[in-house]
Amino acid sequence: MPRARPYLQHLKSSTDLVTTYEATRAGFVSLALEKNRRATPFIEQARALKLAAAAAKSPTGLLKIDSIRSALLTAAGVSDKALNHLTDTDKVEAMQSLIANFLEPAGENFVEELVYRFLITRGDTLGGSMRNVGGILAQRKLARAIISALALSGTEFRWQHSESKAWAQGIGQEPDIELYLRAISWKRGESNRTAVFNLGVPIVKNNIDLCLLECSPSELSAARRKPSLYIALGELKGGIDPAGADEHWKTADSALSRIRKAFAKVRFKPHLFFIGAAIEKKMAREIWSMLRVGSLTNGANLTNDDQVVSACQWLCGL
């Protein structure tokens, strides 16, 4: 049976929850590396654009190169999302405006100007994708920790691909499985367990970062509508910037409160947990107090590997 106070396996006081300076620094480095990794395709596109555009003898000649029309629209400041709302006439006007206002004034350097403006728009796209990268990295780390806990205990599991939604048998040694994993399922005794990331929970009327349900993959669609089948629900906050820690905790605390109230109305009390990367002292004291009174069953600092492993072993043992 799981311990009544599982957090005591890895926490002795609120101080243990506080993110260290070293962990914050390492977190920023990880984000920088991820940003560079995501920027690589845009850099390669810019190089290809420069080579293709060099065939034009003048800015207006760029319109005759069909292979770069999409890049011209990007350089004109048209986002991928905006493209779906523009007519062909709108697109032509956008490209002509780019040429008249920016490329022609650049003279013989019009190709370089085109590439710079292409990268500016792509930079905005990259910035948008980076806003939730902390959450994505947190999900990946937790997914790998759950898989490791199951593999270590010799528990067979299946996992769902986030894009294809197909389920596959797992062995715990698949490289990069956490990049594509949406859900994991295994057996606990005679019962089924399925852990799902970013699941829409009807009773809460919101998406929850991680839910553990008593069901098999084939039962998941129906099970998510049955409050009695929820074993645990948790909030993950992967942002590492200390300046945003308090705001992240307020958001998570509000979400946990909604979950608690929604299930209380139907007289169920699933386990609730919080795992965050940026945890400051005041926030740590609040989390510790909630653990002590039982409004949270478990909590951990995402930057502390031992705490993450302990929390995931607890989750797999429920």
Query: Which domain-ending residue is among 112, 130, 148?
Result: 130
Clarify whether residues 136 and 285 are in a common domain. yes
Q: What is the pLDDT of residue 155?
A: 92
Clarify whether residues 87 and 188 are in a common domain. no
Clarify whether residues 62 and 197 are in a common domain. no
Q: What is the pLDDT of residue 129?
A: 62
| CATH code for position 64 | 1.10.238.90
Tell me how far apart the alpha carbons of residues 264 and 258 are, in angstroms, rounded to a whole number: 10
Tell me how far apart the alpha carbons of residues 7 and 290 are, in angstroms, rounded to a whole number: 11
pTM higher than 0.85 for the full model?
A: no
Tell me how far apart the alpha carbons of residues 78 and 310 are, in angstroms, rounded to a whole number: 47
Strands 181-188 and 271-276: unpaired
Number of domains making up the chain: 2
- Name which of 8, 28, 5, 27 is nearest 17 in CA terms: 8
Query: Which domain-ending residue is among 102, 130, 158?
Result: 130
Q: What is the pLDDT of residue 216?
A: 96
Clarify whether residues 156 and 250 are in a common domain. yes
| CATH code for position 13 | 3.40.91.10
Clarify whether residues 102 and 184 are in a common domain. no
Q: What is the pLDDT of residue 1?
A: 42
Q: What is the pLDDT of residue 3?
A: 55
Q: What is the pLDDT of residue 130?
A: 65
Which domain, by its residues, includes 77? 54-130
Q: What is the pLDDT of residue 30?
A: 85
Q: How many CA atoms lie within 13 A of 82 on its CB side?
A: 12
Q: What is the pLDDT of residue 136?
A: 84
Q: Quick check: is 45 in a domain?
A: no
Q: Quick check: is 71 in a domain?
A: yes
**Mean pLDDT per 10-residue interval, the chain, length 318 residues:** 79 96 91 85 92 93 92 89 87 92 93 92 75 81 93 92 90 80 94 96 94 96 96 93 88 94 95 95 96 96 95 95
State the chain's mean pLDDT as an integer: 91
Q: What is the pLDDT of residue 83?
A: 84
Tell me how far apart the alpha carbons of residues 19 and 242 are, in angstroms, rounded to a whole number: 9
